[in-house]
A = this chain, B = another copy of it.
Amino acid sequence: MARNTTVKADHNAPAITELLAKFVVNHPSKGWSDKVDYEAHRTFANWFGCAIGPSQHETVHAALAAVSELSPAPQAAILGRRERVDIANAAMINGISSHTFDFDDTHLKTIIHPAGPVASAVLALGEHIGSTGREMIDALVLGIEVSCRLGNAVYPNHYDRGWHITGSTGMLGSAAACSRLLKLDAARTQMALGIAASQPIGLREQFGTMTKPFHPGGAAKAGLMAALMAKHGYTASKRALEAPRGLLQVFSDKTDWAEVTEKLGETWEIEINTYKPFACGIVIHPSIDGCVQLRNQHNLKPEDISKVTIKVHSLVLELTGKKTPADGLQGKFSVYHSCAAGIIFGRAGEHEYSDEVVNREDVVALRSKVEAIVDDSIDEASSDVTIETTDGRTLHVFVEHAVGSVERPMTDEQLKAKFVDQSEPVIGREKAEQAWTLSMQLATLSSVKNLLGAATPA
């Protein structure tokens, strides 16, 4: 039987489960600046397009086929598809879809993809219970605040340990957001957070498989069900997050409680959310950006290149060091392929991560000329890119912050282009434009009926 060998129990943690529950329940609607509300709409719209784009992908097909075995009630929409399923599974499938192309948003402080677990639950539940757009934006902001602050409290130790932090904190953001939408009181919201705390989802080991996008989807579903259970009186520990054997102390060796408590309700994590310009792991972005910059400045063609050298932090290779990716999904975890794609195509959208492109002869040839050197003096958000040409030139750029970062945010025009680029093949140009416009106006909509109509193919 067990010895009591737990070494690091902190018995003086603040009561953050209660604190967050009260915050989620009591914070006023739009109790933040216009800037925060604007970023919330960009977060929602970016997520919405990212969920439509992969809706016909085999990952979504497989998940939906499994769910269909339950003969689910047609309660809520699956973005980009005509099928409808129950709210828990709609949350799961939209969460899976939105992360399938690895093209969604990133809270760079923790590498959490915040929208997937929260927006997926908010939309499915909100559609079913008839929430207004304003209520949904409120729930989205508050839910993301909960998951990102808890992420801040355990990052990087928790992530380094091997957890995929998007899913392992996301169920708490989803539970918070759904509790808000359901208008639960603080005591029940505290229980919802507690029930969700027993269900962290996600291992980094799954990167490169369909189970990676399952993590935000599973988290969305777990949080939604936790809120429904709490609504009906299901109980959990009141200190499920902070107790010596609460979630944060169990799944992380270090916890900074101040990240949860300080300036709660005054600063907003969604304000520093970012959106991916490239359909791959965020740590590759500065390297692609550098390759695209040099390509465009010097009008480079693949045949001009003799060698590409990138100097990056060790984390970049740890996460995306796949030298010879076999298919599109593996390509997203290959800084080598990504740099080659950036040079050949001048972009790295979903198309550049198709099985076909990843195995194309010219892409494979250029990929083999890319060398990555670890230099931990370089920040993970940066990259030092040098291209040597066959005619003897050495071209160099140091990318401190990639496009799409907090410092160099995507413009609304770029976001819209990304949205339409993904959605048009699924729902057509007109609906894609309409879905973008309505997403960016969500807080003014009395219901999501028209928005979901736009997201459904004819």
Contact in complex: B161, A6 (CB < 8 Å): yes
CB < 8 Å: which of B161, B208, B236, B251 contacts A210?
Answer: B236
Q: 5 nearest interchain CB pairs?
A: A162-B245, A71-B73, A162-B250, A65-B232, A66-B228
In the complex, which residues of chain B have a beta carbon less than 8 angstroms from the beta carbon of A59? 234
- Could you list some 19 contacts between A and B, CB below 8 A? A1-B108, A1-B283, A1-B380, A2-B111, A3-B156, A3-B315, A6-B160, A62-B233, A65-B232, A70-B88, A72-B86, A162-B244, A162-B246, A198-B211, A199-B199, A205-B244, A206-B237, A210-B236, A214-B229
| Identical chains bound together, number | 2
In the complex, which residues of chain B have a beta carbon less than 8 angstroms from the beta carbon of A205? 197, 237, 239-240, 243-247, 250
In the complex, which residues of chain B have a beta carbon less than 8 angstroms from the beta carbon of A245? 162, 203-205
Task: Assess whether A379 is interfacial by the CB under 8 Å rule.
Answer: yes
Residues of chain A at the chain B interface (Cβ within 8 Å): 1-6, 58-59, 61-63, 65-66, 69-73, 75, 86-88, 108, 111, 155-157, 159-164, 167, 194-195, 197-206, 208-211, 214-215, 218, 225, 228-229, 231-237, 239-240, 243-247, 249-251, 283, 313-315, 318, 379-381
CB < 8 Å: which of B70, B157, B313 contacts A5?
Answer: B157
Contact in complex: A209, B194 (CB < 8 Å): yes
CB < 8 Å: which of B111, B206, B235 contacts A198?
Answer: B206
In the complex, which residues of chain B have a beta carbon less than 8 angstroms from the beta carbon of A108? 1
In the complex, which residues of chain B have a beta carbon less than 8 angstroms from the beta carbon of A58? 233
Contact in complex: B318, A4 (CB < 8 Å): yes
Measured CB to CB, the closest approach of chain B to A269, in angstroms, equals: 16
With known contacts A198-B203, A199-B201, A234–B211 Cβ distance under 8 A:
yes
Contact in complex: A206, B160 (CB < 8 Å): no
Contact in complex: B160, A203 (CB < 8 Å): no
List the B residue with the shortest CB-CB distance to A329: B235
Counting chain B CB atoms within 10 Å of each CB, which of A75, A239, A251, A379 scores highest?
A: A251
Apart from A62-B233, A205-B250, A206-B237, list 18 A-B contacts with CB within 8 A: A1-B380, A2-B155, A2-B160, A2-B315, A3-B156, A5-B160, A61-B233, A72-B72, A72-B73, A162-B246, A162-B250, A195-B211, A199-B199, A203-B245, A203-B247, A205-B245, A206-B236, A211-B237
